[in-house]
Amino acid sequence: MSEAENCTHDCETCSAACDQREKAPADFMEKPSQFSSIKKVFAVVSGKGGVGKSLVTSLLAIALNKKGYHTGILDADITGPSIPKIFGLKEKAQGSAMGVMPVVTKRGIEVISVNLLLENETDPVVWRGPIIAGTVKQFWTDVVWNDIDYMLVDLPPGTGDVPLTVFQSIPVNGILIVASPQELVSLIVSKAVKMANMMNVPIIGLVENMSYFKCPHCGKETKIFGESHIREIADEFSLPVLARIPISPELSEACDLGTLEDISAPFMDGAASALEKIPEKEKD
């Protein structure tokens, strides 16, 4: 298909390099608050829900925090936010004259999530797409992100409104794709790769979650969700494999109790080192 045929006639959502474009994609970039300082931004994506995207985002934030970096998490999964629970955050985000202040975890990771703003965290978010996308933009523009070295954006699954808004309005340095072994044989990963290419955002690599279960008694590894195809997929798209995370009752229990920061789960340390090698974007 030619670029003109790809055109959706709405420059705000269209990725075609069409000569009738009224605004360059870069024009949709939003500036963070004047009180914020954010060096690098990485988005964590998955094809569908429940594959452990929020767990991977949290483990990566913990790994970066342990390396001494000031790390933030922007929970863009507005209708299914799970970051506050993983870190056991109970207090609400407060406003100040400068803007909204993120809530800080026990070890100093700064978090913003719709659950930190809702009066009652069990209230469902029943909002239309543009309101949800607008909220995510405000998490970038109206929150005071204090001296952040690494900002991780936990995106909702799929390739809908919110990922599009994030890639158009936030200067994302790269994407990490999380998938389970089952997903790695489907078209889901190719869709995420194609979206990243359309949005011109580099993919840093793949993370396979729930890869295997290691028996605590005999040490035998069982591939509960089938054989891994991560190597084939990584080769097909020339992407590095950043981590393979086992199914671990310790991980799910820590997520449920809000104690993930307290356990030793160094699965994302290699991925954290990969992010260190990505240069900062030029600021205008």
Nearer to ligand ADP, 193 or 247 (CB): 247
Q: How far is the CB of 252 from ligand ADP (least distance, A)?
A: 3
Q: Which of 144/162 has CB closer to ligand ADP?
A: 162
CA distance 85 to 103: 12
Given the complex with ligand ADP, which of 207 and 234 has the nearer CB atom? Answer: 207
Give the HSE-up count for residue 16: Cα atoms under 13 Å, Cβ half-sphere: 17
Start-to-end CA distance of the chain, whole Å, equals 34
Task: Report the distance separating Cα 271 and Cα 63, nearest Å.
Answer: 9
Of 12 and 253, which has the nearer Cβ to ligand ADP? Answer: 253
What is the spatial distance between Cα 275 and Cα 155, in angstroms, rounded to a whole number? 18
Cβ of residue 284: shortest distance to ligand ADP, in angstroms?
Answer: 33
Nearest-CB residue to ligand ADP? 52
Tokens standing for 112?
A: 């913003």
Q: Given the complex with ligand ADP, which of 72 and 157 has the nearer CB atom?
A: 157
Q: How far apart are CA 211 and CA 231, in angstroms?
A: 12
Quote the DSSP letter at residue 244. E
Residue 104 C-beta: closest distance to ligand ADP, Å: 21
The residues facing 154 across adjacent strands are 44, 75
Task: State how far the Cα of 183 lies from the Cα of 197, in Å rounded to an integer.
Answer: 20
CA distance 156 to 244: 21
**Cα–Cα distance for residue pair 189/19, rounded to 1 Å:** 31
The minimum distance between CB 279 and ligand ADP, in angstroms, equals 28
- Closest distance of CB 113 from ligand ADP, Å: 12
Q: Residue 110 or 208: which CB sits closer to ligand ADP?
A: 208
**Which positions touch ligand ADP (CB under 6 A)?**
46, 49-55, 82, 209-210, 245, 247-248, 251-252, 255
Least Å from the CB of residue 141 to ligand ADP: 24
